[in-house]
Amino acid sequence: MSSHTSTTGTRTRVRPHALLPDRHSWIDIGFTLVLAAVALSALGSSFTGVTYLVVGMLGVVIALVVTHLTRAAGWPIISAVVICVVLFFLLGGPLCLRSLGDGSLLPGPTTLARVADQAVFGWKDLLTTLPPVDGQGPLLVLPWLAGMLAGLVGLGLAHLSVRRAWLAAVLPVVGMTLALSGAILLGVRHPQSLLLQGSVFAGLALAWLAIRARRASAAVQGGTTSYVRGVGALAMLALAAGIAFPASAVLAGNDEERAVARNWVEPPFDIGRYPSPLAGFRKYVNPKGRPDRANANVYDKTLLEVQGDLPENTRVRFATMDRYDGMVWGASDNALPGPADDSFQRVSSTIDNPVADPADGDGDPTEVTITLGEGWSGVWLPTIGALQSMTFETADARAKAEVFRYNLATSTAVVPTGLQPGDRYSFDQVQPDDVLTPETVGSADVTSLPPSASFIQGPTEKWTEGAGTDPMDRVLAAAEHLRSQGKYSDGVGRTEKIYVGGHSVWRLSDEFVNAPQIVGNDEQYAATMALIANDIGVPARVVLGAVVPESGVVTGSDVSAWVELRAADGTWRTLPTEAFMSLTPPADQVPETNTPMSGTVIPPPNPIPPPSDAGEQSDADLKERKASKKKKAADDQGLIAGLPSWVGVVVTYVGGPLLLIALLLGAVLALKAWRRHRRRSADSVSARFVGAWRELVDHARDLGQPVPLGPTVTRREQSVGIVSGQAGSLARRADSFVFGPSAPAEAAAATYWESVDAERRAMSQEVGTWHRVRAAVSLRSLRPGRSSRRDDDPERGLDEGAPTAEPVASRASRLRALADWRSRRTPD
């Protein structure tokens, strides 16, 4: 403690160091820190782990320290901003880019550039990445930046000098609310604990608001009447509610209405989200009179009409599936090993296609026009050969062109917004050389069979015995085995229903290659053949498509699935369906499931049911399905059925916090009632007097009266701080009963309690209703009291050597208290 004497001789005290925060600053720093933590936690569903929170909170702390120190030093706020920017870049690398190897404490230009890049464009990466993102990755720059901004804005606004008291109170809270809104916008549509987070944030924000309002009011006006403060508080609550209600409808709405930035930022294209078209192969088979409940069968419907100068037996490709996950063959974004143009990318109207380039002598481009028929739906766009250009000729051609994606490696095209019958488009294409000849040499690229497909190894070994060592020869031998030994069935006939659809591990293993009789259709044969080729070492993929008839009209009956094998020259050669699939129907008998072949590892069947044969789905289909689910869920909510939707929102997001608050307030009231009961029914009669007096003191504390507290404070000293006409007399009576010569009687204790209760009521009537309600739920009296003397002189004892005026002040205060005590003393 340091002290100095002014010219008037008055001894004053100053803080030990001007850079240390005072009490008000500590409160502002504390609230900013906690509110920022709550706001940052909104990113919890976007990042894995808690590193994001650690980094974010570090940013908050640094920003708080910088902001406070610059203010304490008398520097302008812009200096804090500059320092924070410098620290952001200096520490950004070591904190956020360690995964990229930029962990040096002295960041180089590359690191600084990466930090800047992530700060500017990282938000889009975050929003366009399927959450949660890597919690150790470079996107940590975002919470790092958000934390610094929150700390800077929160404390900066708290220190801002504003003439209007209410504005000074509201500004920092608004700043932190904006921080929370930003975090929510960067979050996900389905956060983990929205309700809890919102409740905690709202509670803390209101508490901070109340503290700052009280402080600002006292600072500006030297304290106002309870009426003015009450009106001010109500105005602030009304303002907060006015902002929060419409904001909550947007930020905390239901899944459809909830506003997050992801809704407006186009996510990265993920081909894996679309069901495999091969899994829906049965909609192309002859139903043979079987009722089509889903109305999905397109066997006899026109799928598309091809126009163009095409050679005979030209194949139109619906989709290429190059990855088997144990469930289905599906399209992937990484078709080829190593870096290659093998993902679904946006393309312009002309396509520089390396698969077949006319400039390289791969042939002249041919213009083809396709009109989709009534049987076509989904996202997959039928194409022929290697595209050189694409032109949509529909009304929404431009929209389709914007979303159109093409995979150069698999020659597969998609329109994520979906296609409808009647859609027409033209393209130039070059037909690459895809004919498989006996001289074709298989690619030496290393192929990896997924673990779930290891069941194929046994049959492959068996079926390729004697086929030599050449991979392509072994592939063809296996194909021949399948064609010669297998039977064909679409599982439609009465006796063929046992041949179910799908090409999961279970279907291909137990019910196909390891079954007594190999029975299936294009789906099972092509899927198995591709697995066998990959097992042998020849990269293979499954293609769903059709051979274009002479008429150019492709119906469901024309659809087939074939296999493409990668040749040593990098081209893909077609292994036609006829090469590995038998067309002989099975015998009219029920086959028995056999035990797996020895040496074959059979994984357990996947519990996931096979995909619906409803076919591939577009975004519109997915949304429609989602909407129908939500509608069903809404219908199930009988309680709020028929009420406006906002009622549900209010009940869900406002009712919860209100209920929580009501429970908390109820708990406070119950606790006080229990305390009162315990005091009133104490075993000792004198303890009842003591308890009654404490009840009065606690009531005064709840009313906000400055009652001296602490173990060394007597009842008389406390009565001086109680604004009550009878407090002195009651203290005197309590002392008289407690310390008097005769033991107090129970009746006297009851009478004393009645007097205390009456005085409590009188004290409550002296204040307004709002003040009374606030006192009833106040937590002040539930907190342990501190010594009033120490409160008066918090630095007492820090420096015993410094001469102080404390004894004189103590004496004076005691004498004043005594004089006051005597003036209010009334005869008992």
Partner 1 sequence: MTISHEQAEWFRTTFDQLTDNMEKAVLGKRHVVRLALTCLLSEGHVLLEDFPGTGKTMLARALANTVQGSHARVQFTPDLLPSDVTGVTVYDQHKGTFEFHPGPIFHTIVLADEINRASPKTQSALLEVMEEGRVTVDGVAHSVGKPFLVIATQNPIEQAGTYRLPEAQLDRFLMKTSVGYPDRQATVELLNNAAVRDRAALVQPVITAATIAQMSGLADQVYVDPAVIGYVAELAEESRRQPHVKLGLSPRGCLALVRVAKTWAAADGRDHVVPDDVKDLAEPVLSHRLLLDAEAQFSGVDVQTVISRLLDAVAPPTDRVGV
By the criterion CB under 8 A, which residues form the site for partner 1? Answer: 684-687, 690, 711-712, 714-717, 735-736, 738-741, 743, 787, 789-790, 800-804, 806-808, 810-811, 814-815, 818-819
Please, what is the minimum distance in Å from the beta carbon of residue 695 to partner 1? 14
Please, what is the minimum distance in Å from the beta carbon of residue 716 to partner 1? 5
Using the minimum distance from each CB to partner 1, give the nearer residue, 192 or 714: 714
Left (φ > 0), alpha (ψ -120 to 50) or beta: where does 546 sit? Answer: beta
Name the pairing type of β-strands 344-346 and 405-407: antiparallel
Please, what is the minimum distance in Å from the beta carbon of residue 827 to partner 1? 8
Please, what is the minimum distance in Å from the beta carbon of residue 797 to partner 1? 8
Longest alpha-carbon distance in the chain:
123
Using the minimum distance from each CB to partner 1, give the nearer residue, 2 or 628: 2
- DSSP string spanning 718-760? HHHHS--SSHHHHHHHHHHHHHSSSPPPHHHHHHHHHHHHHHH
Using the minimum distance from each CB to partner 1, give the nearer residue, 102 or 717: 717
Please, what is the minimum distance in Å from the beta carbon of residue 819 to partner 1? 8
Using the minimum distance from each CB to partner 1, give the nearer residue, 119 or 682: 682
Distances (CA, A) of 99 to 93, 95, 106, 141, 553: 10, 10, 16, 12, 54
Distances (CA, A) of 398 to 264, 345, 415, 428, 620: 19, 17, 12, 18, 18
Please, what is the minimum distance in Å from the beta carbon of residue 795 to partner 1? 14
Distances (CA, A) of 304 to 97, 187, 549: 51, 42, 11
Name the pairing type of β-strands 302-308 and 405-407: unpaired
Using the minimum distance from each CB to partner 1, give the nearer residue, 192 or 684: 684
Residue 361 burial class via C-beta count within 10 angstroms: exposed 0-12, middle 13-18, buried 19 and up: exposed
Please, what is the minimum distance in Å from the beta carbon of residue 711 to partner 1? 4
Q: Please check whether residue 749 is in contact with residue 740, taking contact to mean a CB–CB distance below 8 angstroms.
A: no
Four-CA torsion 168, 173, 174, 178, nearest 10 degrees: 150
Using the minimum distance from each CB to partner 1, give the nearer residue, 189 or 680: 680
Please, what is the minimum distance in Å from the beta carbon of residue 804 to partner 1? 7
Using the minimum distance from each CB to partner 1, give the nearer residue, 180 or 734: 734
Residue 259 CA to its chain's centroid (Å): 12
Using the minimum distance from each CB to partner 1, give the nearer residue, 507 or 688: 688
Using the minimum distance from each CB to partner 1, give the nearer residue, 525 or 753: 753
CA proximity to 195, closest of 237, 251, 154, 126: 251
Please, what is the minimum distance in Å from the beta carbon of residue 801 to partner 1? 4
Please, what is the minimum distance in Å from the beta carbon of residue 137 to partner 1? 58
d(C-alpha 187, C-alpha 177), whole Å: 15
Tokens 């650690």 correspond to 54
Using the minimum distance from each CB to partner 1, give the nearer residue, 150 or 722: 722
Helix axes 141-159, 77-96, angle to 10 degrees: 160
Please, what is the minimum distance in Å from the beta carbon of residue 793 to partner 1? 10
Tokens 């380039």 correspond to 357
CA proximity to 329, closest of 272, 406, 414, 386: 272
Please, what is the minimum distance in Å from the beta carbon of residue 654 to partner 1? 46
Please, what is the minimum distance in Å from the beta carbon of residue 739 to partner 1? 4
Residue 185 burial class via C-beta count within 10 angstroms: exposed 0-12, middle 13-18, buried 19 and up: middle
Mapping DSSP to helix (H, G, I), strand (E, B) and coil, where does residue 487 land? strand
Bond preceding residue 132 cis, omega within 30 of 0: yes
The tokens describing 659, both together, are 């209920």
Q: Please check whether residue 394 is in contact with residue 424, taking contact to mean a CB–CB distance below 8 angstroms.
A: yes
Classify the C-alpha dihedral 367-373-376-378 as positive or negative.
Answer: positive
Which parts of 412-468 fold into alpha helices (H)? 457-463
d(C-alpha 21, C-alpha 27), whole Å: 9
d(C-alpha 574, C-alpha 355), whole Å: 15
Using the minimum distance from each CB to partner 1, give the nearer residue, 289 or 711: 711
d(C-alpha 791, C-alpha 787), whole Å: 6
Contacts of 632 (CB under 8 A, 6+ apart): none
Using the minimum distance from each CB to partner 1, give the nearer residue, 222 or 801: 801
Please, what is the minimum distance in Å from the beta carbon of residue 782 to partner 1? 19
Using the minimum distance from each CB to partner 1, give the nearer residue, 147 or 744: 744
Using the minimum distance from each CB to partner 1, give the nearer residue, 359 or 808: 808
Please, what is the minimum distance in Å from the beta carbon of residue 730 to partner 1? 14
Using the minimum distance from each CB to partner 1, give the nearer residue, 264 or 739: 739
CA proximity to 518, closest of 448, 591, 573: 591
